[in-house]
Structure 1
């Protein structure tokens, strides 16, 4: 029997021989194709067989990629990072591997950061509530920075209108659950990060149990009920909360519950804002880069909290004005001793929070969906989009005594100018509801004519308000269109744009 060293050498030689033989056979097979063709061997059959094998390999590669993206790595524990080194080098207790150091080297060499801070990041965890415009950049940068465990909370699916600002998603993931889409992007960016998915969203029943499992919570939500819920859960679980908001061209950022004098959301807003004062992206719009900036700053604050470096943005509110290119910081008041969530004798506890009705408290639904349909008019004062289509096509208005039934109806569109510019029915007259009082004389002049009037808006709420005002002015031949232009696009004209 050969000595151990020689046996290892023989095994190495055999492995090399096998590799060489496989390579030679492959090259021979390829090089013989022209010869076989010249000898009369059917080349088309050989080519077809190779194509079939190639397609089979493509399918197998795709399967393996999908399996890789769906299998998320396990979280790295304190023990994993602090296993005694068996290498020829040592560090000062940071527990980072050679691969960790190579990946995160550009931030590790920062004098104000260092290997110790990076080690804390790799052992740290963060819960991101909302995988949208704010949560997307926050999740990507935290994953890239090396946060060991990231929890994602969202119950929505990816829509095409999300892509311009929710950069963690792709065209190919439209229709997928946002948690799944975001997890795929994170896995492709940093496979060492363990991702936990909470696809059912955050509710009063599960909030405290979920929040307790993480070091820091990022509020990337888009509605008032969820903001109050997250803040209350962080108070109960004693977790710092990085809160961001973005709408239109403006953004805000602060850190709650990050110290004895740090306020919570309820300290600043003990009473919920009126629903009509709360803007949503689906109504007010947002420039995609604005939540990108705020979400990135949320990632920065989270890194500071987990690693223990820098000064967190506690008791300060950062305001962004994108159009003016200006950032402003204002001081916030300290924690309120009488706060029902974080005060000296809080009434919101782990037990009471589970039964709290946040929708009733805020008067809003816990989502970014459209506002609830209003019921301001009687049924006879409203028509459907199908009825409007018939009246426009037949050029007949409502059969009332004060109008000519053969006269075509006049469509009045009360949407904002920027929405009217996107799309409107041919011949529609524009009278924005926000400036409706300016058009009262014009409306009275129209009432003196013989044309019936049909009022439209985006979803059928502002058009009801406008119709009610026109009825107050004494106009009789006026009706509202149920569902507005969205219903028109959905039920009448599929080519009409939706936005």
Structure 2
């Protein structure tokens, strides 16, 4: 009996609380309607909610939507007007991976009316520790389809559009032009420059984020989205990074690793910025002549840092920016015509092909050498954290970074890792994950004169540990 009384008391409290919330919403709606009529002569809430026009519906949202978004609408900075703006807006998310998944989940849950997803990849098992819209059941499925399936379960009210291909100069205008706001959730410099250029040319605010290992960064670019040459407009990606980083210094999540919650934090922050920009009506400036340039900040996050968040003030638009300055030469025609080679600009190169065929060995052939017990040395040039995960028996670990650091000369010409007992004619084999870094190191060692005047063979295992799994040990752990 006491349990029933307690439950009844709880229910009555919840009813009173809900009624109070509904009363506040009605009062806020009345104020919005009165204000809209006073300034425009008609119902402003209906203008921001075309769906309700001509339907005879008393309220601008459906009963289900009031329930769904109620806890959000009672936030003072959002209210009914902010919710209507979310419903009438459209957001493009480029990349349905570690950043795009959490961003899309919260943007869909917030009630954005149209959400587009761009990604040409399929779901892999290695994605699942961080890409929360995908699951074991959707491995092999297109990422955009897997993501939309999950998003519909969160909020079936939105319109979802799948773009199952990668963003390119040829399709950027058509895709980006159909949305109010853009999120860059990609993981490579070429895409970031392309997306930023498209947003400048099409006057779209861009929310860009990145994450690697335990660190991340977030920038809101081209906000406000004013035409090139207007100094009150927000800086673009080229303003912040006029030159791309050296291609050899760029690591992907597959190469450098990523902690799932870190990329999740950055994706959630992208969603927060998206919602804030939309509810404040910042998507399209009302009058560019009255806009005053506001400072742009870059948010830096480090899971291991103290404090974990830092904010860096950025400069306004660069006066010599290729994309958004008064003398900008970027044009939609050059973008769509394919005359801009972003891969070339970023220094992206095809797979490493440094060694001759006779300087490389198949994994199966090396396995036979190992089985025969022939004298040799196998050097694994992956970083120690990867070497500890798995390595071929008998190999020694000399990380690739050893050959790029300040002590490079001493480590090459006087290598302390080279066993004194190894005969001068004994071959040295290099191995890495995919057969790229091993070629570089092999060439460095040969150029350093470790071939003993030509008596010693130095080369690598072609295609690295991937080939070892394919040709020698099918149970080798793939990471």
Pick from 290, 297, 310 the counterpart of residue 316 of structure 1: 297
Q: How far apart in 1 are the matches of 2:67 and 2:417?
A: 71
SS in 2 for 1:458: coil
Q: How far apart in 2 are the matches of 1:393 and 1:321?
A: 46
Structure 1: segments with no counterpart, 5+ residues:
1-75, 366-371, 396-406
Q: How far apart in 2 are the matches of 1:84 and 1:237?
A: 34
Q: How far apart in 1 are the matches of 2:402 and 2:234?
A: 43
Structure-2 residue corresponding to 1:373? 351
Distance 1:455 1:313, change over 3 A: farther
Residue pair 1:154, 1:198 contacting (<8 A) in 2 also = yes
Root mean square deviation of aligned Cα: 2.2
Q: How far apart in 1 are the matches of 2:175 and 2:441?
A: 46
Whether 2:433 is the aligned partner of 1:455: answer no
Distance 1:445 1:341, change over 3 A: same
Whether 2:350 is the aligned partner of 1:358: answer no
Q: How far apart in 2 are the matches of 1:257 and 1:364?
A: 26
Whether 2:237 is the aligned partner of 1:265: answer yes
Residue pair 2:200, 2:222 contacting (<8 A) in 1 also = yes
Q: Point out the more displaced range, 308-317 or 189-198.
A: 308-317
Distance 1:132 1:313, change over 3 A: farther
Q: How far apart in 1 are the matches of 2:210 and 2:54?
A: 41
Residue pair 2:295, 2:316 contacting (<8 A) in 1 also = no
Deviation at 1:84, TM superposition (A): 5.7
**1:164-202 CA deviation, whole Å, 9 max, x = no partner?**
111111110010000100010011111001001111221
After TM superposition, the structure 1 = structure 2 runs for residues 488-499 of structure 1, keeping only pairs within 5 Å, are 488-499=468-479
Distance 1:485 1:320, change over 3 A: same
Q: How far apart in 1 are the matches of 2:461 and 2:435?
A: 6
Residue pair 2:381, 2:438 contacting (<8 A) in 1 also = yes
Pick from 440, 449, 459 the counterpart of residue 465 of structure 1: 440
Whether 2:203 is the aligned partner of 1:223: answer no
Distance 1:158 1:314, change over 3 A: farther
Q: How far apart in 2 are the matches of 1:221 and 1:148?
A: 23
Structure-2 residue corresponding to 1:434? 401
Residue pair 1:215, 1:306 contacting (<8 A) in 2 also = no
Deviation at 1:252, TM superposition (A): 0.4
Whether 2:88 is the aligned partner of 1:80: answer no
Pick from 161, 166, 180 the counterpart of residue 131 of structure 2: 166
Count of residues paired in the alignment:
401
Structure 2: segments with no counterpart, 5+ residues:
1-46, 225-231, 284-292
Distance 1:352 1:449, change over 3 A: closer
Deviation at 1:82, TM superposition (A): 4.0
Residue pair 1:255, 1:314 contacting (<8 A) in 2 also = no
Structure-2 residue corresponding to 1:344? 326
Structure-2 residue corresponding to 1:479? 459
Structure-2 residue corresponding to 1:60? none
Distance 1:263 1:86, change over 3 A: closer
After TM superposition, the structure 1 = structure 2 runs for residues 6-17 of structure 1, keeping only pairs within 5 Å, are none
Larger radius of gyration: 1
Q: How far apart in 2 are the matches of 1:446 and 1:179?
A: 56
SS in 1 for 2:147: helix
Q: How far apart in 2 are the matches of 1:225 and 1:113?
A: 36
Distance 1:317 1:196, change over 3 A: same
Q: How far apart in 1 are the matches of 2:259 and 2:185?
A: 16
**1:106-162 CA deviation, whole Å, 9 max, x = no partner?**
010112210110010011110000000000000000000000000000000011000
SS in 1 for 2:165: coil
**1:56-84 CA deviation, whole Å, 9 max, x = no partner?**
xxxxxxxxxxxxxxxxxxxx994213446
Structure-1 residue corresponding to 2:370? 392
TM-score by length of 1: 0.76
Residue pair 1:216, 1:305 contacting (<8 A) in 2 also = no
Structure-2 residue corresponding to 1:413? 380
Whether 2:391 is the aligned partner of 1:424: answer yes
After TM superposition, the structure 1 = structure 2 runs for residues 183-202 of structure 1, keeping only pairs within 5 Å, are 183-202=148-167
Q: How far apart in 1 are the matches of 2:149 and 2:48?
A: 22
Distance 1:122 1:348, change over 3 A: same
TM-score by length of 2: 0.79
Deviation at 1:346, TM superposition (A): 2.2
Distance 1:255 1:394, change over 3 A: same
